[in-house]
């Protein structure tokens, strides 16, 4: 695979119902810009990404790949309530922010970057799909650097867990980001695999047949049940497991948060992250920390 | 009583503008004659803010501001705004 090198990573997580004024205060640690007309999803996006970039100087053509399960859906519900429940015209601030691309737009504007600006959503595998897209864009030479992240609000995330019997975690607001380039110099780690499978057996077959040695650490996404996780552990025999959902909580973008957290916490280790969607599609991400 | 003489109404409007336009300012800091819109205004509100305020006014006072020319005239300052809502 054309490697994608990780130069910086950061995770911002907060308890459900975190006040937007608190998020604005946190953002002021990284930028003097005063954000008006924004909602919580946009603030979480800006805060997580700014935290990841911190002192990095970005090229003007840096791309932004924002992945999310729910995006601005909360704002959309409020606007629809205004129209159909209150019988009012929608207010423009809310109406503008129903567009899925506003968060990535505000972020690009704040960072002063004019590269590709994409918002990706794909039920339960949004981060994985965004990463696949970025891999293709790096391989094609379309992009030379990118910020890729996953952002979701706690209030909307609970619905994603329907059908995950017995799996309950505390809901969090999550914003996990990585600054990635195809250049190794200065990187702290790399994505060494991002692979999709149409079903579980083909995913298991691929993992069993891999010639390279097993990953040090394994992590499972929210839709991998306890039984399935146990059988995967038997196959992979990992030295450790990173149960970020239990330790830090769940948001629709838990994968992005978990992976960026791994980068911070596990120096010199490799991670194999396995996830699936409700239709039985599987995705595996492997990353190596230098 | 004309709106511009009604301190309670004017404070209500200032609070509404601060809340609706997501401004980091204290309502008390907005002067009754301060320009609300444009580059010379301290608040620097624009046409999207005007639309936001006019819908909030419609919801709260059931008063519709019909066109953009009228909006500019009505929302010139807190005093003009208050007089529009409460002419006498």
The model's pLDDT over A56-85, given as tens digits with 9 standing for 90+, comes to 889 999 999 999 999 998 889 999 998 999
Residue A92 at interface with chain B, using a CB cutoff of 8 Å: yes
Q: Is B59 in contact with A93 (Cβ distance < 8 A)?
A: no
- pLDDT (average), residues A160-186: 86
Mark whether A158 and A213 lie in a shared domain: no
- pLDDT (average), residues B36-54: 91
Residue A37 at interface with chain B, using a CB cutoff of 8 Å: yes
In this predicted structure, what is the pLDDT of residue A160? 73
Distance CA A140, CA A143 (A): 8
Q: Which domain holds residue A261?
A: 189-289
- pLDDT for residue A155 is more than 90: no
DSSP string of chain B, one letter each residue = --GGG-HHHHHHHHHHHHHHTT--S-GGGS-TT---BSTTSSS-B-HHHHHHHHHHHHHHH------HHHHHHHTTSHHHHHHHH---
Q: What is the ipTM of this complex?
A: 0.81
Burial class (CB in 10 A: 0-12, 13-18, 19+), A155: middle
8 Å CB contact between A241 and A255? no
Alpha helix locations (H) across chain A?
Answer: 20-27, 40-53, 73-84, 92-96, 102-111, 126-139, 154-157, 200-209, 226-236, 244-248, 254-265
In this predicted structure, what is the pLDDT of residue A212? 62
Residue A22 at interface with chain B, using a CB cutoff of 8 Å: no
Domain count, chain A: 2
In this predicted structure, what is the pLDDT of residue A165? 59
DSSP string of A68-131, one letter each residue = -SSTTHHHHHHHHHHHHTS--PPPHHHHHTTSTTHHHHHHHHHHT--S-EEEE--TT-HHHHHH
8 Å CB contact between A98 and A76? yes
Q: Is B48 in contact with A92 (Cβ distance < 8 A)?
A: yes
Mark whether A137 and A228 lie in a shared domain: no
In this predicted structure, what is the pLDDT of residue A60? 96
Residue A34 dihedral angles phi and psi, to the nearest 5°: -95, 115
Mark whether A42 and A82 lie in a shared domain: yes
Residues 6+ apart with CB under 8 A from A173: A13, A14, A15, A16, A18, A40, A44, A152, A153, A154, A251
- DSSP-derived secondary structure letter, A18: -
- The residue in chain B having the minimum alpha-carbon distance to the alpha carbon of residue A24 is B24
Tens digit of pLDDT for each residue in A7-27?
999 999 999 989 999 999 999
Mark whether A258 and A275 lie in a shared domain: yes
Residue A213 pLDDT level (bands cut at 50, 70, 90): low
- A34, A38, A89 ranked by CB distance to B55: nearest: A89
- B24, B55, B58 ranked by CB distance to A34: nearest: B24
- pLDDT (average), residues A136-163: 89
Neighbour count for residue B84 (Cβ, 10 Å): 19
pTM of the model: 0.92
Tabulate helix, strand, coil % of chain A (nearest 5). 40, 25, 40
Residue B88 at interface with chain A, using a CB cutoff of 8 Å: no
- pLDDT (average), residues A237-244: 93
In this predicted structure, what is the pLDDT of residue A47? 98
Question: Measured in Å, how far apart are chain B's first and last C-alpha atoms?
Answer: 5
The structure tokens 């005063």 sit at: A34
- pLDDT for residue A164 is more than 90: no
- The residue in chain A having the minimum alpha-carbon distance to the alpha carbon of residue B45 is A36
- pLDDT (average), residues B32-54: 92
- The residue in chain B having the minimum alpha-carbon distance to the alpha carbon of residue A86 is B59
- pLDDT (average), residues A209-214: 70
In this predicted structure, what is the pLDDT of residue A86? 87
- Mutation target vs A (from B22, B62, B65; most A CBs, 10 A cutoff): B22
- Mutation target vs A (from B18, B53, B59, B71; most A CBs, 10 A cutoff): B59
8 Å CB contact between A164 and A225? yes
Here the tokens at position B26 are 């204290």
Distances (CA, A) of A196 to A50, A130, A131, A155, A285: 30, 12, 11, 29, 9
In this predicted structure, what is the pLDDT of residue A251? 93
In this predicted structure, what is the pLDDT of residue A55? 82
8 Å CB contact between B73 and B80? yes
- A86, A88, A91 ranked by CB distance to B52: nearest: A91
- pLDDT (average), residues B36-61: 92
8 Å CB contact between A160 and A222? yes
Q: Which residues of B touch A86 (CB under 8 A)?
A: 59
In this predicted structure, what is the pLDDT of residue A2? 66
Domain endpoint, select from A148, A181, A214: A181
A184, A173, A72: which is closest to A119 by C-alpha? A72
Q: Which residues of B touch A36 (CB under 8 A)?
A: 21-23
- Mutation target vs A (from B19, B53, B55; most A CBs, 10 A cutoff): B55
Distance CA A131, CA A133 (A): 5
- pLDDT for residue A173 is more than 90: yes
Q: What percent of chain A has pLDDT over 70?
A: 97
- A34, A38, A92 ranked by CB distance to B52: nearest: A92
B3-85 homologous superfamily: ACP-like (1.10.1200.10)
Mark whether A10 and A67 lie in a shared domain: yes
Distance CA B11, CA B42 (A): 18
Alpha helix locations (H) across A140-253?
Answer: 154-157, 200-209, 226-236, 244-248
In this predicted structure, what is the pLDDT of residue A211? 65
Residue A41 pLDDT level (bands cut at 50, 70, 90): very high
User: Closest Cα of chain A to B65: distance in Å?
Assistant: 13
Here the tokens at position B13 are 């409007």
Mark whether A100 and A232 lie in a shared domain: no
Residue A85 at interface with chain B, using a CB cutoff of 8 Å: no
In this predicted structure, what is the pLDDT of residue A158? 76
Chain B residues 19-58 with a CB less than 8 Å from chain A: 20-24, 48, 51-52, 55-56, 58
Sign for the pseudo-dihedral over CA of A152, A157, A159, A164: positive
Domain of A36, CATH number, reads 3.40.47.10
């Amino acid at each position: 695979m054309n490697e994608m090198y990780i130069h910086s990573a950061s995770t911002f997580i907060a308890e459900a119902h975190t006040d937007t004024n608190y998020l604005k205060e946190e953002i002021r640690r990284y930028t003097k810009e005063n954000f008006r007309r924004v909602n919580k999803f946009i603030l979480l996006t800006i805060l997580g990404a700014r935290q990841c970039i911190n002192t990095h100087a970005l090229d003007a053509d840096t791309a932004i790949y924002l992945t999310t399960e729910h995006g601005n859906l909360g704002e959309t519900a409020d606007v629809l309530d205004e129209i159909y429940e209150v019988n009012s015209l929608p207010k423009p601030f809310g109406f503008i922010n129903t567009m899925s691309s506003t968060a990535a737009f505000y972020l690009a504007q704040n960072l002063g970057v004019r590269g590709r600006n994409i918002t990706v959503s794909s039920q339960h595998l949004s981060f994985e799909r965004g990463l696949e897209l970025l891999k293709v864009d790096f391989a094609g030479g379309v992009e030379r650097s990118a910020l890729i992240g996953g952002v979701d609000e706690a209030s909307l995330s609970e619905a994603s867990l329907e059908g995950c019997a017995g799996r309950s975690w505390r809901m969090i607001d999550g914003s996990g980001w990585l600054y990635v380039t195809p250049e190794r110099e200065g990187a702290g780690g790399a994505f060494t695999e991002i692979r999709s499978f149409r079903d579980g057996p083909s995913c298991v077959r691929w993992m069993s047949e891999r010639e390279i040695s097993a990953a040090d650490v394994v992590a499972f996404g929210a839709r991998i049940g306890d039984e399935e996780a146990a059988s995967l552990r038997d196959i992979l025999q990992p030295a450790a497991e990173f149960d970020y959902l239990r330790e830090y909580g769940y948001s629709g973008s838990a994968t992005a948060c978990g992976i960026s957290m791994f980068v911070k916490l596990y120096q010199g280790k490799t991670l194999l992250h396995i996830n699936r969607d409700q239709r039985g599609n599987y995705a595996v991400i492997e990353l190596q920390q230098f | 009583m004309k709106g511009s003489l009604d301190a309670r109404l004017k404070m209500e409007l200032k609070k509404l503008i601060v809340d609706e336009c997501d401004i980091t300012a204290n309502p008390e800091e907005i002067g009754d004659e301060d320009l609300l819109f444009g580059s010379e205004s301290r608040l620097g509100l624009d046409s999207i803010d005007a639309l936001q305020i006019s819908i909030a006014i419609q919801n709260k006072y059931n008063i519709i501001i019909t066109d953009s020319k009228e909006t500019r005239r009505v929302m010139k300052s807190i005093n003009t705004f208050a007089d529009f809502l409460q002419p006498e």
